[in-house]
Amino acid sequence: GALDIVLGHILGAGVLHLFVARSDDERIQRAAIRALVRHPSARARASVRSLIESDGVSDRVKAEALPAIASIVKARESGPFKISRQ
């Protein structure tokens, strides 16, 4: 929620990526990925993609991240700032 957004803006996408990539604690990984998913930067989106594709993140954390990613994409496509796919 709001804490993920604040966390993302305070720490930035690069630091959040490092939290996920270097932490063995799934709670930290989940919180950092949630913040990355909600972060508005292109770098954050690229980080999420690379983390989902990496072997260093557990399948459980990846599985929890995918619905959050899908809901953000859906909201962006149907909201006031619609994304057009061509």
What are the pLDDT digits (tens) for 38-52? 777 888 888 888 888
Mean pLDDT across 62-67: 83
Q: Which pLDDT does position 10 carry in this prediction?
A: 58
Would you say residue 5 has pLDDT above 70?
no
Q: Report the predicted TM-score, pTM, of the whole model to 2 decimal places.
A: 0.64
> How far is the CA of 72 from the CAs of 55, 56, 69, in angstroms?
24, 24, 5
Alpha-carbon gap, residue 55 to 3, rounded angstroms: 27
Alpha-carbon gap, residue 11 to 55, rounded angstroms: 24
Mean pLDDT across 42-70: 83
